[in-house]
A and B are shown apart, each in its own frame.
Chain A
Amino acid sequence: MTFAFRSADWVLLSPELFLTAAGLLMLSLAVAFGKKKEEFLAFLAVLSIAVTAAMLVFVSTQPGRATSILGGTFVVDNFALFFKGLILLSLALTVLASSRFVGAAPYPGGEYYALLLFSGVGMLFMASGNNLISIYVSLELMALSSYILAGYFKAEPKSTEAALKYFILGAFSSGVLLYGLSLVYGVAGVMGLPELAKLFASAERSNLLMLGILLILSGLLFKIAAVPFHVWTPDVYEGSPTPVTAFFSVGPKVAAYAILARIFYVAFAKFHADWGFVVALVSAATMILGNVAALLQSNVKRMLAYSSIANAGYALLGVLGFRTEWGLWGVLVYLLAYAFMNFGAFTVVILLESKGYAGESVSDFNGLAKRNMPAALAMLLFLLSLAGIPPTAGFYGKYYLFTAAMKAGYAWLAILAVVMSAVSLFYYFRIAAAMFFTEGAASKLKSSYVLTAVIAICAVGTLGIGLAPEPFLSVLKACGLGQ
């Protein structure tokens, strides 16, 4: 393989390079400032994310960008751009939603923002990854930053426990993934996804290759928290500081879907009959377990954790249905909707947190309608969207995914998915019932400007896509791989 470096390649990677520089700057400022000027640092973080987004827009106008760059390790196609946009959105929302909590924490805020930015860099690279090794390295950059973020509250046993669990299980799954990658490389002798696809087009299936694919699948299923690799999720989501949980439930998952879709759509498309069966079973198990376990939770963060497990199950329908365009659209529409609704729901949890760091029970939502009506209405909107009730963004996500399953011939999965989505209403609406039907604390609940803004952005996204989906749906149609 010859590496031809073109200067144009670096232009295409400028958003990632800029964000790396911003992260490094943030780290040095953290040393300089300590616990001071954290709001300024937050502002700086949002600003650098915004500049990155602007550079992304610039990149999208570059001609010929959809070819692979840097020796075939990365590709900046529309698919990647879509995910990068979504990742930056979740990153910016996380910074905004964190400001109050970072201020209350006894640890320097600069570190926190730097870690977020580094994790963001990893995710941006993941969205572009076009080669087994570049994918793995960017995944690790994201993951290592996440482990530390989970344990940001060093003195808090729950936070430390979450970080430790996340790290041990995450490292193990990375090992599994790497082993799978090495097996595939051993069989094929090439690393690039297009090269693999070309090679497999004429290759016979071999057991060693199937094992490699299965191990890769397992490693990625861990990242998206699909059954049976989901056990870390409730504990990590519960133990991590809530803004970090909100981030975990959106950012890293979105990025993991990007590589899952790219690897399996591009490289392993030929063997879909083999892995499709496994993915179908995993999807079914994930939807059932996620939804049923969520019914039993009294802690909102754990409930939302199981809900996000269930959501991973729905999204896998899109991976299954990749042979028609509906599968890919389904994943894209769903993740877009999911980013808004899930982040919004977690932000309302953040708003409710009384002590800055506490497990939230469903009863904490009691009487929210009287304490803060706009927040309660926004939460209701997010819950409706999560349950897939039209006209919200979540409905379109589910509509496309169910469609993908039907088109791909998995009618039984589609039926299971709709039944489970009806079941999910039960636990989502426990929160709605608490907010509107139950008496709670008498005091009004004040929201900060920043949190209000985050909730408003998520609510506008959720309802806006619901009422006027056309602009989004027509853009997504152009977001195919390699476009």
Chain B
Amino acid sequence: MDLSHIPILSLITYIPLVGALAIVFLIPKEKTGPIKAFATLVAAVDLLVSLPLWWAFDRAGDGYQFVEKASWIPSLGVNYHFGIDGISLVLILLTTIVGLIAVYCSYSAITERQKEYYVLLLLLQTFMIGTFCCLDLFLFYVFWEIMLVPMYFLIGVWGGQRRLYAAIKFFLYTLAGSVFMLLGIIALYFYNTTGFMAYKGLGNAATFSIEKLTAVAAGMPAHLQIWLFFAFFFGFAIKVPMFPFHTWLPDAHTEAPTAGSVILAAVLLKMGTYGFVRFSLPMFPAAASNSRVIGVMVALAIIGIVYGAMVTLVQKDMKKLIAYSSVSHLGFVMLGIFALNMAGVQGGVIQMVNHGISTGGLFLLVGIVYERRHTRMIAEYGGLAKQMPLYATYFLILALSSMGLPLLNGFIGEFSILQGAFAKNFWWAFFAATGIVLGAAYLLWLYQRIFFGEITNPANAKLPDLTLREQLTLAPLVILALWIGLYPKPIFDVIRRPSEKIVQAVGGTVVEAPALALKAPADSVEPAAAAHP
């Protein structure tokens, strides 16, 4: 399929924006039916337009693809520069799928100020896709920041009891991180041009091109790389969120409306991990492969995995439970990325997608019973399996996928990550594996308390099972979970070249691994000799 003559990325990015404007100006706010239908249509069109990317994408291609470039602010050297590699491709597709689900799952949950709600959802979608498409650091920062605004309002207007607190906390935490990234961007920009502080610039033409700056940054002296690595680190780590920057997440997740939680889990958290693989690793390889830096990163990741899982165990609120489980899962992603080998990085990227599917799905499921009962306390439930068999089935599949059961998507990611970690250091893998055990514990225990036994609470006796619409929101996620779990090769193929580039950039070697050949021929790990540097 030849998409080279169509600005396909801009189309995917701005279709939701145009749709949002159309709703603002053309549909009066009383007509909630047409608003919902139109918003769904826009999200569906966006998904349809984004799907051809999957086939048109050249898996063996080296550079960025579907590139669009135009001058935006020549005074600063800023370009409107879009383009994607395999990692952005899977995240964009995840976004368009989740975007449609988010709109479609809100029909009955949102009953107030509906026009504003759907406008904000669509705006958020534009900003998220834009962030993944950017090849210009300045433009990236613009999308990265503006994305916070619609999310702030989604939490603040349609959230739960403590929504005001959660909304501003979300905004402040992520903003506080990203302003440091801004300073890092400025420093990088001037290192390339006229210099800053004591550093003489290279005297190149002003540019924010991610490709060019990556090459420039990788040649910086190691101490400067470490400084800039940490400037970017704050921006990304808060978004991930890594321990100890995670405290905004349970609040935001718990208070957000269902669609907001789904998007937060599935896409927004991925911005942070995406930042690490797109910027931190290839730009600052000397920092990222510095043993002390790795030590800090891996320690934080493992603490996140274990601590996150332990806190998850004791939660009484379903939504909070799943929110804390994200801390643990994202710890896995970070561990994989900082294993700095093919298995780890690829596993990390796949786990980003997996987490979006399974945790996004679990939030949908919690939202569904919340709509019926208006409580999320686990103790209020019990014995739902008899009353809501379909619901119980979906919940089981997605919970199993979240805990990493073989044949489901979570297993692929976690296995690959553990393999990457193991190749580096046995103890990393050991501690991370305890997180998996704990993960099984909290999810199975949650499942047991909600679904098994007799119905003790009379309020649950007459709960209706899933409607067709609710099934339609869940089914795509279940299909994706099964697909990645059974046959992950296509995804490994797509992210393979960019992962190789990242691993090469940080000095790792890219070798085919016979051990993983059964599961994913495209995958590879470092040879055992390089495992203990």
Residues in A lying within 8 Å of B, measured CB to CB: 324, 384, 387, 389-391, 395, 399, 402-403, 406-407, 409, 411, 414-415, 418-419, 421-422, 425-426, 429, 433, 436-437, 469-470, 473-474, 477
What residues on A are CB-neighbors of B164 within 8 Å? 433, 437
CB distance from A472 to the nearest CB of B (A): 9
A422 & B149 in contact (Cβ 8 Å cutoff): no
When each residue 180-215 of chain B gets 1 if its CB lies under 8 Å from chain A and 0 otherwise, what string results?
101100110010001011100000000000000000
Interface residue tally for chain B (C-beta within 8 Å): 34
Check: B75 CB closer than 8 A to any chain A CB. yes
What residues on B are CB-neighbors of A384 within 8 Å? 149
When each residue 134-171 of chain B gets 1 if its CB lies under 8 Å from chain A and 0 otherwise, what string results?
00000001100110110011001100000110011001
Check: B511 CB closer than 8 A to any chain A CB. no
**Complexed CA–CA distance, A419 and B176 (Å):** 6
A406 & B172 in contact (Cβ 8 Å cutoff): no
B196 & A433 in contact (Cβ 8 Å cutoff): no
Q: Which of A390, A407, A409, A418 sits near B146, CB closer than 8 Å?
A: A390
Q: Which of A395, A406, A421 sits near B197, CB closer than 8 Å?
A: A406
B171 & A425 in contact (Cβ 8 Å cutoff): yes
B190 & A406 in contact (Cβ 8 Å cutoff): yes
A470 & B75 in contact (Cβ 8 Å cutoff): yes
A389 & B198 in contact (Cβ 8 Å cutoff): no
Check: B430 CB closer than 8 A to any chain A CB. no
When each residue 61-78 of chain B gets 1 if its CB lies under 8 Å from chain A and 0 otherwise, what string results?
000000000001111100
**Complexed CA–CA distance, A433 and B175 (Å):** 17
Closest A-B pairs by Cβ, 10 of them: A418-B179, A473-B75, A390-B142, A422-B176, A409-B197, A406-B196, A422-B175, A437-B156, A470-B73, A391-B142
Q: List 23 A-B contacts (CB under 8 A).
A: A387-B175, A389-B145, A389-B175, A390-B142, A390-B145, A390-B146, A395-B145, A402-B183, A406-B190, A407-B194, A407-B196, A414-B186, A418-B180, A418-B183, A419-B179, A422-B175, A425-B172, A426-B168, A436-B153, A436-B157, A437-B163, A470-B74, A470-B75
B179 & A422 in contact (Cβ 8 Å cutoff): yes
Apart from A389-B145, A403-B190, A418-B183, 17 more pairs, CB < 8 Å: A390-B141, A395-B142, A406-B187, A414-B183, A415-B180, A418-B179, A418-B180, A422-B176, A425-B172, A425-B175, A426-B172, A429-B152, A436-B156, A437-B156, A437-B157, A437-B164, A470-B74
What residues on A are CB-neighbors of B194 within 8 Å? 324, 407
What residues on B are CB-neighbors of A433 within 8 Å? 156, 164, 167-168
**Complexed CA–CA distance, A469 and B76 (Å):** 10
**Complexed CA–CA distance, A426 and B175 (Å):** 11
Q: Which of B146, B168, B196 sits near A391, CB closer than 8 Å?
A: B146
What residues on B are CB-neighbors of A425 within 8 Å? 171-172, 175
What residues on B are CB-neighbors of A474 within 8 Å? 74-75
What residues on A are CB-neighbors of B145 within 8 Å? 389-390, 395
* Residue ID in chain A nearest B189 by CB atoms: A403
B146 & A473 in contact (Cβ 8 Å cutoff): no
* Residue ID in chain B nearest A470 by CB atoms: B73
CB distance from A430 to the nearest CB of B (A): 8
**Complexed CA–CA distance, A477 and B175 (Å):** 30
A477 & B75 in contact (Cβ 8 Å cutoff): yes
Q: Which of B149, B171, B182 sits near A402, CB closer than 8 Å?
A: B182
What residues on B are CB-neighbors of A469 within 8 Å? 73, 75
B183 & A415 in contact (Cβ 8 Å cutoff): yes
Known: A389-B146, A426-B172, A433-B167. A473 touches B197 (CB 8 A): no
A422 & B196 in contact (Cβ 8 Å cutoff): no
**Complexed CA–CA distance, A324 and B145 (Å):** 28
What residues on B are CB-neighbors of A391 within 8 Å? 142, 146
CB distance from B290 to the nearest CB of A (A): 21
Those of B411-458 within 8 Å (CB) of chain A: none
CB distance from A95 to the nearest CB of B (A): 32
**Complexed CA–CA distance, A384 and B182 (Å):** 16
**Complexed CA–CA distance, A422 and B255 (Å):** 22
What residues on A are CB-neighbors of B141 within 8 Å? 390
What residues on B are CB-neighbors of A409 within 8 Å? 196-198
A473 & B172 in contact (Cβ 8 Å cutoff): no
**Complexed CA–CA distance, A403 and B75 (Å):** 14
B142 & A422 in contact (Cβ 8 Å cutoff): no
Q: Which of B76, B149, B167, B198 sits near A473, CB closer than 8 Å?
A: B76
A421 & B179 in contact (Cβ 8 Å cutoff): yes
What residues on A are CB-neighbors of B73 within 8 Å? 469-470, 473
Q: Which of B72, B168, B183, B196 sits near A429, CB closer than 8 Å?
A: B168
A406 & B72 in contact (Cβ 8 Å cutoff): no
What residues on A are CB-neighbors of B187 within 8 Å? 406
What residues on A are CB-neighbors of B74 within 8 Å? 470, 474
CB distance from A428 to the nearest CB of B (A): 10
Q: Which of B142, B186, B198 sits near A403, CB closer than 8 Å?
A: B186
**Complexed CA–CA distance, A409 and B182 (Å):** 16
What residues on B are CB-neighbors of A411 within 8 Å? 197
B182 & A418 in contact (Cβ 8 Å cutoff): yes
**Complexed CA–CA distance, A425 and B171 (Å):** 8
What residues on A are CB-neighbors of B152 within 8 Å? 429
What residues on B are CB-neighbors of A436 within 8 Å? 153, 156-157
**Complexed CA–CA distance, A201 and B102 (Å):** 67
* Residue ID in chain B nearest A430 by CB atoms: B168
What residues on A are CB-neighbors of B180 within 8 Å? 415, 418
Name which of B76, B172, B179 has the most chain A CB atoms within 10 A of its CB. B179
B182 & A429 in contact (Cβ 8 Å cutoff): no
* Residue ID in chain A nearest B231 by CB atoms: A415
CB distance from A473 to the nearest CB of B (A): 4
What residues on B are CB-neighbors of A324 within 8 Å? 194
CB distance from A24 to the nearest CB of B (A): 42
**Complexed CA–CA distance, A330 and B486 (Å):** 56
CB distance from A475 to the nearest CB of B (A): 10
* Residue ID in chain A nearest B29 by CB atoms: A373
* Residue ID in chain A nearest B195 by CB atoms: A407
Name which of B149, B152, B197 has the most chain A CB atoms within 10 A of its CB. B197
* Residue ID in chain A nearest B76 by CB atoms: A473
CB distance from B284 to the nearest CB of A (A): 18
CB distance from B17 to the nearest CB of A (A): 13
CB distance from A369 to the nearest CB of B (A): 8
**Complexed CA–CA distance, A437 and B113 (Å):** 11
**Complexed CA–CA distance, A8 and B180 (Å):** 51
**Complexed CA–CA distance, A304 and B242 (Å):** 35
* Residue ID in chain A nearest B182 by CB atoms: A418
* Residue ID in chain B nearest A388 by CB atoms: B179
What residues on B are CB-neighbors of A407 within 8 Å? 190, 194, 196-197
CB distance from B123 to the nearest CB of A (A): 12
**Complexed CA–CA distance, A399 and B156 (Å):** 28
**Complexed CA–CA distance, A470 and B71 (Å):** 10
**Complexed CA–CA distance, A474 and B141 (Å):** 22
What residues on B are CB-neighbors of A477 within 8 Å? 75
**Complexed CA–CA distance, A324 and B196 (Å):** 10
CB distance from A69 to the nearest CB of B (A): 31
What residues on B are CB-neighbors of A437 within 8 Å? 156-157, 163-164, 167
What residues on A are CB-neighbors of B183 within 8 Å? 402, 406, 414-415, 418
What residues on B are CB-neighbors of A429 within 8 Å? 152, 168, 171
**Complexed CA–CA distance, A477 and B142 (Å):** 23
Name which of B72, B75, B142, B187 has the most chain A CB atoms within 10 A of its CB. B75
B72 & A470 in contact (Cβ 8 Å cutoff): yes
* Residue ID in chain A nearest B197 by CB atoms: A409
**Complexed CA–CA distance, A473 and B149 (Å):** 26
**Complexed CA–CA distance, A407 and B176 (Å):** 22
What residues on B are CB-neighbors of A395 within 8 Å? 142, 145
**Complexed CA–CA distance, A419 and B179 (Å):** 7
What residues on B are CB-neighbors of A419 within 8 Å? 176, 179
CB distance from B513 to the nearest CB of A (A): 43
CB distance from A287 to the nearest CB of B (A): 13
B179 & A406 in contact (Cβ 8 Å cutoff): no
**Complexed CA–CA distance, A402 and B186 (Å):** 8
CB distance from B136 to the nearest CB of A (A): 13
**Complexed CA–CA distance, A387 and B146 (Å):** 12
